[in-house]
Amino acid sequence: MTDKVQENRIRRMAARQGLTLAKSRRRDPHATDYGGYMLIDTATNAVVAGGDPAAYSLSLAEAEKWLVEP
């Protein structure tokens, strides 16, 4: 499965739970948050996962695991 397909699938999973999957917009591959993800609650606009210890600290696999596990 390609990254884009997996990302879209996880975005849909998050949307069903009232969350948004946000990807870092950083273009510098040496930046700490480059290519990372964050889950945001759409109702309160609060970071639910991926904001601690740094912003955009989740990988796609970690975001999927967070959404699947209770």
pLDDT band at 9 (very low <50, low <70, confident <90, very high): very high
Run of H or E including 55 = none
pLDDT tens, position by position, 19-70: 999 999 999 999 888 999 999 999 999 999 998 888 999 999 999 999 999 6
53 preceded by a cis bond (ω within 30 of 0): yes
Taking the C-alpha atoms of residue 52 and residue 37, their distance in angstroms, rounded to an integer, is 12
Measured between its terminal Cα atoms, the distance across the chain in Å is: 25
Structure-model confidence comparison of residues 6 and 53, the more confident one: 6
Q: Residue 1 has what pLDDT? A: 67
- Residue span of the structural domain in which 38 resides: 3-68
Number of domains in the chain: 1
Give the residue from 5, 27, 19 showing the smallest Cα distance to 47: 19
Taking the C-alpha atoms of residue 12 and residue 5, their distance in angstroms, rounded to an integer, is 11
The token pair at 3 is 């990254």
Q: Residue 43 has what pLDDT? A: 97
